[in-house]
Structure 1
Amino acid sequence: MAPIKTCVLGVGLGGLTFHVPFVLARPTLFKLHAVMERNPQGPGGKLQARFGEEAAKGVIIHRDIDAVLADPEVELVVISTPSETHYELAKKSLQAGKHVLVDKPVTAYFSQAEELGALAKSKNLVLYPFQNRRWDSDFLTLRKLLDLPADDPKSLGTLFEFESRFDRYRAELKGSWKDQARPASGLTYDLAAHTMDQALVLFGRPQKITAFVENIRGLGSKEVDDCFTIFLHYPGQKAASGVQPQSLKVILRGHILSVRTPQIRYVVRGTRGTFSKGGVDVQEDQLKVIPSPAAIGTTAEYGVEPEEIWGTVENLGPDGKVVRSVWPSTERGAYVGLYENVAAVIRDGAEQAVKWEQSATVIELIELAYKSAKEERTLEVPARA
């Protein structure tokens, strides 16, 4: 079938790092038909400045969303603009009959996410959330560990604590729209949107939520948080060993003043062992400097984590002593897998690897996290079909 003619809205860091490269990397699946850039400098704008004249050749630069939606050639709209604009741009695109891929956070409010989902369904259009970190090398590798059979000597047993973190050190404001008090701004919307999604993939919908959200640096608007700790509460499950943890606690953290190298990424504790890992998936850093999208998935280094940030497993051996071993990051990071699935959904009617309802739940839980922090109490998560 013909490649899907795509328009990327926004050619800042997000658009040029996480979207344009994958559209260009799969020419049999996608054609970069246009981008939206309000004030392009030069004939090819930022696209040409980043990837060269050949990549920008024939790509239309639309100045606003009305021009994009009036273009009958555009089949897929990719939204990589400031978070507060996602809902409006997605709604207009769906109303115009376009398929839509939306960067995270998909909306500022759960009600908006529900509305968009219903609109896409009524028009039989694909509405896809860009939850790329399901294709992180370390997350894919961790899933293999958690899938080990109970009798494997490296099995963690029954989990009772799962900690997932995105910490960094930044003592000053970044100086972008993310520092401003707008809908869907703040570190929780920015990074918990990833860790929350991964938690839902692994454990499903929690029963309760307890959150602590604050502006710990005291910089800028106090309404823009730069630090969060979110507890998701799950009921305990009976372990094969007979040990029965009372509950599973999923702890999601993001801290802006963490001085550590590498930063902690995961700490997972079970009845038979503990997994710990530092560092983050390498794809973002690689994509920022990649000379050509053709290198995605084709070079030996792409998506491969260095050994120094591989995780470790510590298990109790038969003699009761702790056995420590490396758990290699054998799974190559592959954000392009998300784009390949988008193409399969649009062209072949395949099942979405990331369902819209899942990302809507992420927004629902983020809203509950803010409410929990504000009211200083644990909240019930309402059951949904």
Structure 2
Amino acid sequence: MQLVKVGLCAFGMSGKVFHAPFLKQHPGFFLTAIVERSKEESKIDYPDATIYRSVEEMLKNADLEVVVVNTPVQTHHEYVKMALEAGKNVIVEKPFTVTVSEAQELVNLAESKNLFLSVYQNRRFDRDYLQVQKILAEGKLGNIKEVEIRFDRFRTEPSAKEHKENPELSGSGSVHDLGSHLVDQATQFFGYPEKLFADVFSMKGENFANDYFEIILYYKDKLRVRLKSSVFTKEDHYAYKIHGSNGSFLQERTDDQENELVAGAIPTYGENWMKPLKEADGILNYFNENSVTERILTSSEPGNYMNYYQQIYEHIVFGYALPSLGNEVVQNMKIIEAALESSDKGKIIDLN
């Protein structure tokens, strides 16, 4: 099997949970370099990786084919550009960059150097997202009329991460953080909307970055897609509500990969490492082909973040399609920027 050498730009939560474990377990990757500015925590689980004290040092000295940029979003533009100019393919954490113009510059740079640039949209590999995708593909709901996608938390106290909490920093707040997932899912399901209206603010107060948003996406044929998130949600909602001309589907957010990884679970290659659910996590209520109402409790199949890295590997080795390529995610960032503008001006924004 061809071995692809990878460097990781940071070993914080993202590196420890979402990237390093999968790179280690996938037989086609070799995690050969990790940036830790002062510590050496990665030596425990990744003794074969060389520790570098800066991204610049790693790019100068390490023999790498792929660089994972998983630093705070405010640094993404600088580090992705640096890696591309060093001749490296890049995986960058969502939401890609702070602004659309930064993201487009990087996409153009990657294309000019014949390098790939992929945004790590791991929630496309969540069990709940995949279940909704399956239900929509089956067509049982008829013409989709109204959709709500939520990603809520109960975190009433600010985190210690200034790059996420400081309202003075561009790219901080929930719209760039969780909103990047919801916008991505909406565009994956339904394509690019025509217009939007948004309400964005901080429930914790004006000294903190936005932690609440509601974005209404306007599609042709009168489809409305509502994206919502709040950090003051103690009781869970259905994360997905899909209503069509022939019925409805409600889906809970049940993917537990992040929690399992934080708790120390080791993902496996070549099989689903998450267990099947013991209870149903969705409700499908629709008219069947005989015009008889069927109400079915559904259970989603396990998701697997390893599939993201498998697709990256297959792109490198076999030339298969690249997952969440940069110029695709630039479109999502246009929606994020428009949402902030809409909330600030209190008006509908035309996306065309």
TM superposition shift of 1:325? 1.2
Q: Which of residues 214, 233, 255 in structure 1 aligns to 2:218?
A: 233
Mapped partners of 2:157, 2:206: distance in 1: 8
What letter matches 2:318 in structure 1?
Answer: D
TM superposition shift of 1:83? 0.9
Q: Tell me which residue corresponds to 2:231.
A: 256
Q: Which of residues 168, 174, 179 in structure 2 aligns to 1:192?
A: 179
TM superposition shift of 1:324? 2.0
Q: Tell me which residue corresponds to 1:240.
A: none
Pair 1:179-2:165 in alignment: yes
What letter matches 2:220 in structure 1?
Answer: P
Pair 1:274-2:258 in alignment: no
Unaligned runs of 5+ in 2: none
Mapped partners of 1:202, 1:13: distance in 2: 29
Q: Which of residues 312, 318, 334 in structure 1 aligns to 2:304?
A: 334
Pair 1:351-2:346 in alignment: no
Instruction: Tell me the secondary structure at the aligned position of residue 329 of structure 2.
Output: helix
Q: Which of residues 47, 53, 70 in structure 1 aligns to 2:42?
A: 47
Unaligned runs of 5+ in 1: 150-154, 237-246
Mapped partners of 1:284, 1:123: distance in 2: 34
Q: Tell me which residue corresponds to 2:125.
A: 135
Mapped partners of 2:276, 2:96: distance in 1: 28
Instruction: Tell me the secondary structure at the aligned position of residue 314 of structure 2.
Output: helix
What letter matches 2:30 in structure 1?
Answer: K
Q: Which moved more, 1:184-193 or 1:67-76?
A: 67-76
Q: Which of residues 155, 168, 175 in structure 2 aligns to 1:170?
A: 155
Q: 1:281 touches 1:303 (CA, 8 Å); kept in 2?
A: no
Let me know the Cα RMSD of the aligned residues: 1.9
Mapped partners of 1:318, 1:349: distance in 2: 41
Instruction: Please give the per-residue CA displacement for 1:318-354, whole angstroms capped at 9, x wherever unaligned.
Output: 9988542112203x20111111111122233222132
Q: Which of residues 217, 220, 226 in structure 1 aligns to 2:207?
A: 220
TM superposition shift of 1:309? 5.5
Q: Would the alpha carbon gap of residues 25 and 263 (structure 1) be closer, same or farther in structure 2, given more than 3 Å must change?
A: farther
Q: Tell me which residue corresponds to 1:377.
A: 347
Q: Would the alpha carbon gap of residues 61 and 380 (structure 1) be closer, same or farther in structure 2, given more than 3 Å must change?
A: same
Mapped partners of 2:198, 2:30: distance in 1: 43
TM superposition shift of 1:377? 0.6
Pair 1:30-2:29 in alignment: yes
Mapped partners of 2:276, 2:100: distance in 1: 35
Q: 1:137 touches 1:303 (CA, 8 Å); kept in 2?
A: no
**Size of the alignment, in residue pairs?**
350
Instruction: Please give the per-residue CA displacement for 1:61-104, whole angstroms capped at 9, x wherever unaligned.
Output: 00011111112412211011111111110000000101100000
Pair 1:112-2:102 in alignment: yes
Q: Tell me which residue corresponds to 2:14.
A: 14
TM superposition shift of 1:2? 3.4
Mapped partners of 1:205, 1:298: distance in 2: 33
Mapped partners of 1:36, 1:15: distance in 2: 10
Mapped partners of 2:99, 2:323: distance in 1: 23
Q: Would the alpha carbon gap of residues 324 and 280 (structure 1) be closer, same or farther in structure 2, given more than 3 Å must change?
A: same
How do residues 120-159 of structure 1 correspond to structure 2 at under 5 angstroms? 120-149=110-139, 155-159=140-144
Q: Would the alpha carbon gap of residues 97 and 320 (structure 1) be closer, same or farther in structure 2, given more than 3 Å must change?
A: closer
Mapped partners of 1:84, 1:58: distance in 2: 30
Q: Would the alpha carbon gap of residues 70 and 271 (structure 1) be closer, same or farther in structure 2, given more than 3 Å must change?
A: same
Instruction: Tell me the secondary structure at the aligned position of residue 223 of structure 2.
Output: strand
Q: 1:137 touches 1:304 (CA, 8 Å); kept in 2?
A: no
Q: 1:126 touches 1:345 (CA, 8 Å); kept in 2?
A: no
Q: 1:83 touches 1:183 (CA, 8 Å); kept in 2?
A: no
TM-score using structure 1 length:
0.86
Mapped partners of 1:349, 1:136: distance in 2: 25
Report sequence identity in percent.
Answer: 32
What letter matches 1:179 in structure 2?
Answer: E
